[in-house]
Amino acid sequence: MTVSHPLLSLKNIKVTFGGVRALKGVSFEVNPGEVHCLAGENGCGKSTLIKVITGVYTPEDGAEFLFDGKPIAAMTPTLAQSLGIQVIWQDLALFGEMSVAENIGFQLAVKGKYGLIDKSAIDAAAKKALARLGIELDIHMPLKELAIAQRQIVAIARALVGEARLVFMDEPTASLTQSETDYLIEIVRNLQASGVAVVFVSHRLAEVLEISDRITVLRDGALVGVYPVEGMTQSRVTELMTGRNFDSAVIAADHDDAPVVLSVKNLTRHGEFSNVSFDLRRGETLGITGLLGAGRTELALTLFGMRQPHSGEILLAGEKVRFGSNRDAIRAGVAYLSEDRLSLGLNQPQSIADNLVMASLDRILSGGLISSSRKANVVAHWISELGVKIGTPDDPIRTLSGGNQQRVAIAKWLAIGPRILILDAPTVGVDVGARAGIFDIVRKLAAEGLSIILISDEPPEVYFNADRVIHMVEGRFQAVYDPRQTSLTELESAVYA
Amino acid sequence: MRRLVLDHTTETTLIAVTVLLCIGLSFGTDRFLTVANAFDVLNISAVNIIFAVGLLVVLISGGIDISFAVAASVVQYVTVLALGALGGGNWAEGFLIAGVVGTGLGAINAFLVYRLQIISIVATISTFNIFFGLLMFFTKGVSIYNLPDWLSNRVVFYEHEMADGSWVELTLPVVVMILCCVATSFMISRTTTGRKLYAFGDNPEGARRFGINIGAMQYISFGWLGLMAGIAGLMQAHYAQEVVPNALYGRELDVLAATVLGGARLGGGKGSVLGCVLGVLLVSITQNGLNLMGVSPFAFKMIVGAIILTAITLSSARLDKLLPEALKSSSRKGSQRS
């Protein structure tokens, strides 16, 4: 890097929304050809900063904005694009009904000569962008037929059409599997090699540390610092992001004296999982990990009565059960927290209170009708029990942060008084700091005697929060680990092998 | 060729269904499969096709409009009255007045949807009532029969007497319809504006992040439909040789069904002019065939409904979705939500 000035340099960026300081005088710098990580919890100002850089928001007076050494008086989205600043948004902002080529070449399509579209130029640009990424894809395929990882590639290719010099990637790996993530990292390296600077925004610290040269940490709208990635550890980054220190310690303990609550024998569902057997005791937390597609969620849905096993047995407290539907399972005291909180776990437009009592309506009835006082009692009880931070219980649930939403989702199931709680990926879209809070709740519930099955594709989560860890591969139980006798590295290398 | 068929599933299916229907009807009555009858169907369908390609643009941009048919009635009245005030007028003035008034009524819808942020179905149901209410109030339901001669005289571009004594006629509404189709098709598939309309309907937030002017999109789409509705209104007055305030009342649902049948997606971002034309024609051919076969007109609506249902099932629901395994997985999703 012989260039003496940074590609992008911001100083003293202040943004205020309705009296709330979203950015309190932040500085940010990206060098040419660098992979830079922008880290911080939700609400720390990352997105606001990206929107300032792309001209969506205007910073207050006193800001200094240099691109390629030249001062920018007023950034606009159009100017940002013409300077080669591109953002790949978390939701990708692609057009499902259009073809791959129409998506990649969209900028050309809206800027055509005489207001007309040049279809061959669009196709050529799409092919060129994909070739630069080393990807082969049918450019006439409708986007909606592509898998999420391929759509990600389309979004990246679209950024390249605009002669990108600086690409922001907002949580690009949130919905990718490990191998897809590896693939994306490879693509980012290719971009870097061709001289494009990439700013990576991600919750997943492992990949951040793997790919970045430097890391800028924001907290509460203020700059914490800029650090070289060398010598950085995940726990150090977490500490910088949250301002707190999370000691990770193994909590595993023996529960051999406790009664068996759930016993599964040779459970099989063809094409999903086979010969699964385990016992779950009172107060025990059983971790299940494995790659996406290992059959974890399918197993959980079967235990929850939403799918019927083809063979094998499920015994609850020694008694054989057959669930016709999840209503039977709920009645028997089995609760399942869905892995997709946004669309399946909670009813986003409805209020916090309505969401919380959704699974336990029969418990708040009075003369066949919902008793508002009973409902209020249940809601107040669980809000305080789980420490959910809310305005009023009548606010829509979507106004809460991911961590608080998840607490309500857990409370919804606790309100039915379950014996077994299955948590499927409970920390997806939850901040690092709030994750610790969720696991504090899980530990407390286990200590009170609830039996928990904790499913996660992040090995550390199950390693530090479960008594036993089962590693699932292609629908089978590959191995059972005791965190007290195994190192995290051993578990991770087994999972990612 | 395979690609062409795959990319245009709806259109191909509609053509197939229409051909099958025509074969069936030609056995039912020997008067159906004649050139003269084909032109008849075209003449009858012209007004609806003009409406449909206008509505298509609104559907592509993610909106919906219920008010365009009564808006066309308003246009008819205003245009005829204005022409009277101008001392008779001519075709150029007629098209100009109808187009401007129609576009203006469309702009009212765009204003409600964009400025006041009213969801388009509610906004246009309101304007549907307002337009129709005002029309009935001021006209007291009275029709206009004495149109200027140039407007009520038939304009025939081409005519030819067939061997069997029937007449083949290419009339003004059909020519205007073809021009409207060509213009709409050019606008939505060849211009940057069209691409923006598709993008806006497909993913409004994505379009916004590209710096697309959302307000302009609403005014263009509703304005275009208004323009088409104005032209369709004028053509309908010309075709019927009278202006009746409730003549077009209820037409909006027929046109909407035909447009959606033609592959336009109610969620936005999808649809083609060819699909629209095929959708309207399929419905017209069905009615025409039933008519010739002497089926009771009371059964028409029922049969047309069944044909629409069949065609839309064949073109939108892919056959594999009807297989039991896929049904299981979709019912699973449903129960997970509960």
- Residue B336 forms part of a structural domain: no
Contact state of B192 with A325 under an 8 Å Cβ cutoff: no
Least confident of A237-246, B50-59, B264-273: A237-246
For all residues of chain A together, what is the average pLDDT? Answer: 87
Out of A94, A102, A112, closest to residue B206 by CB = A94
Checking DSSP bridges between strand A166-170 and strand A197-201, what pairing results, if any? parallel
Domain regions of chain A by residue span: 8-242, 260-496
Angle (CA) B258 B263 B267, round 5°: 100
Q: Which two tokens stand for residue A272?
A: 């999903």
Distance from A490 to chain B by nearest Cα, in Å? 36
- Residue B288 forms part of a structural domain: no
Long-range CB contacts (< 8 A, 24+ apart) of A121-124? Answer: none
Per-residue pLDDT reduced to its tens digit, B108-166: 999 999 999 999 999 999 999 999 999 999 999 899 998 998 998 888 888 888 887 77
Residue with tokens 């275009």: B224
- Residue ranges making up the domain that contains B98: 34-273
Contact state of A140 with B3 under an 8 Å Cβ cutoff: yes
Q: Which of the residues A88, A91, A97, A113 would you substitute to probe the B interface, choosing the one with the greatest number of B C-beta atoms within 10 Å?
A: A97
Contact state of B210 with A110 under an 8 Å Cβ cutoff: yes
Angle (CA) A375 A377 A381, round 5°: 120
- Residue B138 forms part of a structural domain: yes
Contact state of A109 with B195 under an 8 Å Cβ cutoff: yes
Out of A77, A91, A115, closest to residue B211 by CB = A77
What CA–CA distances, in Å, run from B329 to A8, B314, B324, B335? 49, 21, 9, 10
Q: pTM above the 0.80 mark?
A: no
Cβ under 8 Å to B: A residues 322-381: 325-326, 338, 344
- Residue B156 forms part of a structural domain: yes
- Residue B308 forms part of a structural domain: no
Is B1 a residue whose pLDDT tops 60? Answer: no
Rounded CA separation B127/B105 (Å): 9
Assign domain A8-242 one CATH number from 3.40.50.1110, 3.40.50.720, 3.40.50.300, 3.90.1150.10: 3.40.50.300
pLDDT on residue A265: 94
> Which positions ≥6 away from A352 have C-beta within 8 Å?
A379, A383, A388, A390, A393, A394, A395, A396, A397, A400, A408
Out of A97, A110, A306, closest to residue B269 by CB = A97
Q: What is the mean pLDDT of residues A396-401?
A: 83
CATH superfamily of A260-496: P-loop containing nucleotide triphosphate hydrolases (3.40.50.300)
Sign of the alpha-carbon torsion through A66, A70, A75, A81: negative
The number of distinct structural domains making up chain B is: 1
Checking DSSP bridges between strand A273-281 and strand A260-269, what pairing results, if any? antiparallel
B interface with A, Cβ–Cβ < 8 A, is 3, 7, 189-196, 198-199, 202-203, 205-206, 209-212, 265, 269-270, 332, 335-337
Checking DSSP bridges between strand A420-424 and strand A334-337, what pairing results, if any? parallel
Is B336 a residue whose pLDDT tops 60? Answer: no
Is A118 a residue whose pLDDT tops 60? Answer: yes
> Which positions ≥6 away from B308 have C-beta within 8 Å?
B257, B258, B261, B283
Contact state of B209 with A91 under an 8 Å Cβ cutoff: no
Angle (CA) B195 B199 B201, round 5°: 120
- Residue B332 forms part of a structural domain: no
Contact state of A95 with B202 under an 8 Å Cβ cutoff: yes
Q: Which of the residues A54, A57, A92, A95 would you substitute to probe the B interface, choosing the one with the greatest number of B C-beta atoms within 10 Å?
A: A95
Residue A184 backbone zone (phi > 0: left; psi -120 to 50: alpha; other: beta): alpha
Per-residue pLDDT reduced to its tens digit, B210-247: 878 899 999 999 999 999 999 999 999 999 999 999 99
Per-residue pLDDT reduced to its tens digit, B255-299: 999 998 888 888 889 999 999 999 999 999 988 888 888 888 888
Contact state of A98 with B199 under an 8 Å Cβ cutoff: yes
- Cβ(A290)–Cβ(A457) under 8 Å? yes
Rounded CA separation A31/A9 (Å): 9
In this prediction, what percent of chain A has a pLDDT beyond 90? 38
- Residue B292 forms part of a structural domain: no
Q: Does A115 touch chain B if contact means CB atoms closer than 8 Å? A: yes
For all residues of chain B together, what is the average pLDDT? Answer: 87
Ramachandran angles phi, psi of A282, nearest 5°: -60, 130
In this prediction, what percent of chain B has a pLDDT beyond 90? 56
Q: What is the mean pLDDT of residues A250-261?
A: 90
Q: Comparing A8-242 with A260-496, is the CATH topology the same?
A: yes
Residue with tokens 């004594």: B165
The pLDDT-based confidence of B335 (bands split at 50, 70, 90) is very low
